[in-house]
Amino acid sequence: MRDAAAIQMSRVPGSAQLSDVTAGLLGQLPSWFGIPEANAEYARAAARLPGLVAYSGTEAVGVLVYQRHFPEAAEIHVMAVAPSWHRQGAGSALVSAVVSDLVADGCLLLQVKTLGASSPDQGYAGSRAFYRSAGFLPLEETDDLWTANPCLIMVRSLARTT
């Protein structure tokens, strides 16, 4: 098992650098990101949206690009972790870092969209389990957002409870 404590987090504004890192990591994950047009759109979004990059030394091992829709609500637009870092803490570190940043800025809700369980693609069961373990709950599955793919919208409350 890799040492998740060795992961360094870098906050990156939307930029060519973030776009390149995003495209590179998506290219390593054809089972999840196998639609070239969608990957190109994710890379374009990373050029304008903020994100976080997880590094092990100088190697980018994960990326999370997010969008603030309203002061109270944000969305993980895309997240990818290098295959060799799956189940090693990089994804959890990315989510924890963005949650920490958003909470500090007064955000109350975070959403993520992933392939719904009604799809026969079993690879996404792990994605849904990961997000659930990170505190996200399923809100709605719809066929209205993505062509020919059910979209599961998951949400996490960032509100502090006392």
Q: How does pLDDT run across 129-153, given as a tens digit for each residue?
A: 899 999 999 999 888 887 778 889 9
pLDDT band, very low/low/confident/very high, at 96 (cuts 50, 70, 90)? very high
Contact 80, 25 (CB under 8 A): yes
- CA-CA distance, 6 to 42, in Å (whole number)? 27
Under CATH, domain 4-157 is a member of which superfamily? Gcn5-related N-acetyltransferase (GNAT) (3.40.630.30)
Q: Quick check: 123 pLDDT over 80?
A: no
The pLDDT assigned to 94 comes to 96
Q: Between residues 45 and 120, which one has the greater pLDDT?
A: 45
Domain boundaries, the chain: 4-157
Nearest to 52 by CA among 84, 87, 3, 99: 99
- CA-CA distance, 127 to 116, in Å (whole number)? 10
For the ranges 2-16, 49-63, 101-115, which has the lowest average pLDDT?
Answer: 2-16
Torsion over CA of 46, 49, 50 and 52, rounded to 10 degrees?
-30
- In three-state secondary structure terms, 19 is helix
Calculate the average pLDDT of the chain.
89
- What is the largest distance, in Å, between two alpha-carbon atoms of the chain? 45
Q: Token digits for 4?
A: 């998740």
Residue 95 belongs to what H/E stretch? helix 90-104
Q: Quick check: 76 pLDDT over 70?
A: yes
Contact 136, 85 (CB under 8 A): no
pTM, two decimal places? 0.90
- In three-state secondary structure terms, 31 is coil
